[in-house]
Amino acid sequence: MSQPAPLAYLRAQLDEIRAAGSFQRLRELEGPCQPISRYDGREVINLASNNYLGLANHPKLKEAAIAATREFGVGSGAVRTISGTMAMHTELERRIAAFKNVEACVVFQSGFTANAGTVSAVLGKDDHIISDELNHASIIDGCRLSRAKIHVFRHADAADAEAKLAALDGVPGRKLLITDGVFSMDGDIGPLPALVELAGRYGAIMMVDDAHASGVLGRNGRGTVDHFGLHGRVDIQVGTLSKSIGVLGGYVCGSRDLIDYLHHRARPFLFSTSHPPAVTAACLAAFDLLEQEPERIAALWENTRYFQAALNRLGFHTGRTETPITPILVGDARTAHAFSAALFENGLLATGIGFPTVPEGKARIRTIVTATHTRAHLDRALEILARTGRSMDLLRP
Ligand SMILES: *Cc1c(COP(=O)(O)O)cnc(C)c1O
């Protein structure tokens, strides 16, 4: 007897995605990631990357990657704990630890694996996680993998986090209080000072994911802990090497004991191969630039202020952003994707984002200006946004 194809149900689910107007074909980048990039045969102003400081195509990073490849090859040959730890891996970790003003650091293959691997290693099924409702997917997956009980607090609401902690007072098990430093879809900054105070008061481990804050906030881009002057009061800091650093990877910073423990228990660290030399060497070059050229971060913020002020004057809704991540809220997912498609036709790349990445009814296009966009690029982007937004009736009167 013939059976139906076992994956046939995927087609039905895809049809639902199509019916919701959310089906996405992957655009192809035909050249480097830079302010004007070529996608699908068209030159567009690129407001869709996380390449905040323009390092993804920086000559010094490229030279470092090429030199490291010539000398050390293209692969490390093994996971870190078997034989895949190169001197440059350790050097990068020392470098990041010093930059972040902590005892130690461990680099993971990505920010995603850093979060998921760390949360699931540090906590177990008898423990409790108090987590912001808008925390990144990699935190959510780490929480699930840990099998700890998850208590979600309202976004950026320290009073609600306190209510959750108070309800757990006296309940056995460790507690982890966890937040994004900067929220990736709205661009707002988490209430870290209030959360740190709560963690101290209730004896919880404090963890912050600074993927979008590293290279953006704090002195030379040291992140939210530095931005708020909370050195020594956050137990676990996660960052990424894939956004402002321009390359690939994630890292965890904290005490020597935390890092030694992760060496023995974080599963992506133990069971997945370490970075190729090109990646690690390019990251080292990026930290040189962060320390030597803080003017890149100043340019990023200058562009951010200029762009956001102009968007608001035009009548766009940019929500609660406080950072270079600038959403333009439009309502439903279909409109967001249609707006994004029309912008692309007019020469601008900005991704449409709908449910389930953001809540239903909060669909948006998300824009990120970089340090390397010129004033002319931004003015042209604003002109395209105004013209397209007006034609689709998306501007506040
Ligand atoms: C992008 C992102 C990550 C994942 O980082 P990658 O290095 O791209 O895997 C983790 N957390 C947050 C908040 C992010 O925005």
Residue 354: inside a domain: yes
pLDDT reading at 342 higher than 80: yes
Q: Between β-strands 351-353 and 348-349, what pairing exists: parallel, antiparallel or unpaired? A: unpaired
Q: Is 209 in the pocket of ligand 1 (CB under 6 A)?
A: yes
Provide the domain limits for residue 140. Answer: 59-292
My answer on whether 176 and 302 are in the same domain is no
Compute the average pLDDT of residues 349-362.
89
Instruction: Specify which residues 37 forms β-bridges with.
Output: 44
Two tokens at 339? 């707006």
Confidence of residue 199 (pLDDT cuts 50, 70, 90): very high
In 3-state terms, what secondary structure has residue 55? helix
CA distance 341 to 138: 28
Residue 103: inside a domain: yes
Residue 397: inside a domain: no
CA distance 340 to 351: 6
Instruction: Supply the mean pLDDT for the chain.
Output: 96
Two tokens at 334? 């279909």
Give pLDDT, residue 21: 76
Helix ranges restricted to H, the chain = 8-19, 59-72, 87-100, 111-122, 137-146, 158-167, 192-202, 224-227, 256-265, 267-271, 277-292, 295-314, 333-345, 375-391
CA distance 184 to 323: 10
My answer on whether 277 and 308 are in the same domain is no
Give pLDDT, residue 397: 67
My answer on whether 169 and 227 are in the same domain is yes
My answer on whether 213 and 150 are in the same domain is yes
Residue 5: inside a domain: no
CA distance 350 to 342: 10
φ/ψ of 268, rounded to 5, equals -65, -30
158: amino acid identity, one letter = A
My answer on whether 285 and 344 are in the same domain is no
My answer on whether 278 and 310 are in the same domain is no
Residue 227: inside a domain: yes
Confidence of residue 22 (pLDDT cuts 50, 70, 90): confident
Are 323 and 300 in contact by the 8 Å Cβ rule? The answer is no
Measure 41 CA to ligand 1 centroid, in angstroms: 28
Q: Is 242 in the pocket of ligand 1 (CB under 6 A)?
A: yes
- The answer to whether 62 is a known catalytic residue is no
Query: Of 292, 309, 327, which residue constitutes the final position of a domain?
Result: 292
pLDDT reading at 359 higher than 90: no
Measure 319 CA to ligand 1 centroid, in angstroms: 21
In sequence order, the 6+-apart residues with CB closer than 8 A to the CB of 64 are 281, 282, 284, 285
My answer on whether 280 and 158 are in the same domain is yes
User: 191 preceded by cis ω (within 30°)?
Assistant: no
For the segment 249-300, what is each residue's pLDDT rounded down to a tens digit?
999 999 999 999 999 999 999 999 999 999 999 999 999 999 999 999 999 9
Residue 99: inside a domain: yes
pLDDT reading at 2 higher than 90: no
Q: Is 184 in the pocket of ligand 1 (CB under 6 A)?
A: yes
Measure 73 CA to ligand 1 centroid, in angstroms: 27
User: Looking at the 3D structure of the chain, how many domains does it have?
Assistant: 2
Among 239, 226, 249, 243, CA closest to 80: 249
Confidence of residue 79 (pLDDT cuts 50, 70, 90): very high
Among 136, 185, 193, CA closest to 352: 185
Q: Is 49 in the pocket of ligand 1 (CB under 6 A)?
A: no
- The answer to whether 212 is a known catalytic residue is yes
My answer on whether 258 and 325 are in the same domain is no
For the segment 154-176, what is each residue's pLDDT rounded down to a tens digit?
999 999 999 999 999 999 999 99
Measure 365 CA to ligand 1 centroid, in angstroms: 18
Compute the average pLDDT of residues 28-54.
98
The CATH number given to whatever domain includes residue 108 is: 3.40.640.10
- The answer to whether 243 is a known catalytic residue is yes
Measure 167 CA to ligand 1 centroid, in angstroms: 31
Measure 325 CA to ligand 1 centroid, in angstroms: 14
C-beta neighbour count of 33 within 10 angstroms: 17
Residue among 243, 275, 325, 358 whose CB has most ligand 1 atoms within 8 A, to mutate: 243
The CATH number given to whatever domain includes residue 312 is: 3.90.1150.10
Q: How far, in Å, are 31, 52, 370 from residue 298 at the CA level?
A: 27, 11, 11
Query: Of 249, 274, 292, which residue constitutes the final position of a domain?
Result: 292
φ/ψ of 191, rounded to 5, equals -80, 65
Q: Is 211 in the pocket of ligand 1 (CB under 6 A)?
A: yes
Task: Tell me which of 11 and 23 has the higher pLDDT.
Answer: 11
φ/ψ of 207, rounded to 5, equals -130, 135
CA distance 383 to 387: 6
Residue among 138, 247, 251 whose CB has most ligand 1 atoms within 8 A, to mutate: 138
Give pLDDT, residue 396: 75
CA distance 313 to 326: 14
Sheet containing strand 205-209, edge to edge, reads: 104-108, 250-254, 236-240, 205-209, 175-180, 128-132, 149-153
Residue 233: inside a domain: yes
Query: Of 245, 260, 292, which residue constitutes the final position of a domain?
Result: 292
Pick the catalytic residue from 212, 275, 337, 377. Answer: 212
Query: How long is the chain?
Result: 397
Q: Is 164 in the pocket of ligand 1 (CB under 6 A)?
A: no
My answer on whether 262 and 378 are in the same domain is no
Residue 264: inside a domain: yes
pTM here is 0.96
My answer on whether 265 and 340 are in the same domain is no
Instruction: Specify which residues 149 forms β-bridges with.
Output: 128
My answer on whether 158 and 77 are in the same domain is yes
Atom nearest to 184 CA in ligand 1: 15
Which DSSP state fits 182?
B
Q: What residue has token string 């090429």? A: 66
Nearest CA to ligand 1 atom 5: 111
For the segment 229-256, what is each residue's pLDDT rounded down to a tens digit?
999 999 999 999 999 999 999 999 999 9
Pick the catalytic residue from 37, 110, 131, 184. Answer: 184
My answer on whether 269 and 333 are in the same domain is no
How far is C-alpha 145 from the geometric centre of its chain's CA atoms?
20
For the segment 289-339, what is each residue's pLDDT rounded down to a tens digit?
999 999 999 999 999 999 999 999 999 999 999 999 999 999 888 899 999
